[in-house]
Amino acid sequence: MQTFARPAALLVDTMRKAASAQPQQAIAFGGAPGSNSHQAAMQFAPEALPLPCFSFDDALDAVKQGRAGCAMIPIENSQHGRVADIHFLLPGSGLAIVAEHFMRITHALMATGPGPFRAAYSHPQALGQSRLFLKERGIPGLSHADTAGAAAFVAESGDPALAAIAPPLAADLYDLDIIEREVEDAHDNTTRFVVLANAAREPSTLDAGDTMTTMVFEVKNVPAALYKALGCFATNGVNMTKLESYQKGASFAATMFYADVEGAPGDPRVDAALEELAFQTNEVRLLGSYMQARKRG
């Protein structure tokens, strides 16, 4: 059963009650109060009502079921790469990307006492972002559902030999001592989040000069399939800022690609590229067009 540790559950109940009264003002996120996703949601929409969910999948479900107007989901980190499973969750969610948000990420080592520590709990992304810090101190990292949830778990355990790596806010919320700040290995550590809603943004309402379109496409299982697909953008002068592959099913014969391109449907260059891409691939699915929160290049 997916449940938050008791120190987090008390805050979650309060936030969920507030969000249920005005669901369209709610912004869902995966993780306990104090997580990076919680802070990103409040940076993006300070007036919104935060709706904590146990997982990213649960946050997407909250939007689909009308319990939140949108969801804030981390998609990639400058230091540790893409967030696991997110490329599978987004296309299958039926939701549309309507905005993006970048946030500088800083973590702290926190506990009920000064150590030494038998283990440090956190989300796998945070553990990866603090890998050298943990290695130098000989502290094993153990996975938890989210960063702030790990802090709540350590607080509930009361075990002085356990620590958590989480945002400093989590130490305040769960009454933990911060043992060391800025434990991330790179001090320009940044995560890109996307905001998802039931209805896509109409490309014609966006500033054409600063738009981004996200899509997934499946290449044909023929020689030079990816080369031909990418040529659709190159020959039409459309800049691709992101391309990642993942396997569809267990056959290892159907490769999906997740891509971000500058521009949006309605731009003749983008329209021409998408028309050619449809011919060169088995499937093309647009996940949304939105304004760039940070200019690429």
φ, ψ of residue 76 in degrees (nearest 5): -160, 155
Which residues, in sequence order, are bridge partners of residue 76? 82, 192
CB-CB contact of 260 with 241 (8 Å): yes
Catalytic residue chosen out of the listed positions 117, 133, 153, 191: 191
SS (H, E, C) the chain: CCCCCHHHHHHHHHHHHHHHHCHHHEEEEECCCCCHHHHHHHHHCCCCEEEEECCHHHHHHHHHCCCCCEEEEEEEECCCEECCCHHHHHHHHCCEEEEEEEEECCCEEEECCCCCCCEEEECHHHHHHCHHHHHHHCCCEEECCCHHHHHHHHHHHCCCCEEEEECHHHHHHCCCEEEEECCCCCCCCEEEEEEEECCCCCHHHCCHHHEEEEEEEEECCCCCHHHHHHHHHHCCCCCEEEEEEEECCCCCCCEEEEEEEECCCCCHHHHHHHHHHHHHEEEEEEEEEEECCCCCC
Residues in the chain: 297
Sort residue 45 into left (φ over 0), alpha (ψ -120 to 50) or beta.
beta
The reply to whether 193 belongs to the active site is yes
Catalytic residues: 191, 193
